[in-house]
Structure 1
Amino acid sequence: MFNLSHPKLGTLAEAEGYAEVADFLGDHTLGSVVPAICVASDCDHTADLEPDQRAGSREACGRASMKSGLVISGMI
């Protein structure tokens, strides 16, 4: 089941210039590199990563807390 209401997904879509999460996901569903966000509660760092990224490393802090928007939404 998809989760379009996850707060980090909304933050990521907004950071990418989208007013609607569904529009963000529609534009990035087939990409080979997609926007991702740090899911740590104290961070909203974004980067472009692989669509299936679940534990990408954030260079600034060394945490493995980056997830792609497609993973957060449950599409992957």
Structure 2
Amino acid sequence: MFNFDHPKLAALAETEGYSDIVDFMEDCALDSLVPAICMAPGCDYTAELEPDQRTGFCELCGRPSMKSGLVIAGLI
């Protein structure tokens, strides 16, 4: 099931310059590196990571909490 309503996904799309989450997903769906965001409360650090990343290291808060936008949306 897709989850385009997640607040972190909206923040990630906005950071990448998109006002529409569907457009954001379409543009990065086939890339080898995609935008990811830290899922830790209070941290919105973003980076380019693998499309299936679920526990990437956040360089800002130091937690293994980076998640790909494709994973957050439920596409992977």
Correspondence 1:15 to 2:15: yes
Q: Tell me the CA shift for residue 41 of structure 1.
A: 1.4
Distance 1:44 1:12 in 2: 8
Distance 1:61 1:8 in 2: 16
What's the secondary structure of 2:9's corresponding residue?
Answer: helix
Which consecutive residues of structure 1, in runs of 5 or more, have no partner in the other structure?
none
Which consecutive residues of structure 2, in runs of 5 or more, have no partner in the other structure?
none
Identity between Structure 1 and Structure 2 (%): 64
| Runs of 4+ with >3 A deviation | none
The TM-score with structure 2 as length reference comes to: 0.97
RMSD: 0.6
**Matching residue of 1:53:** 53
The TM-score with structure 1 as length reference comes to: 0.97
> How many residues of Structure 1 are paired with residues of Structure 2 in the alignment?
76
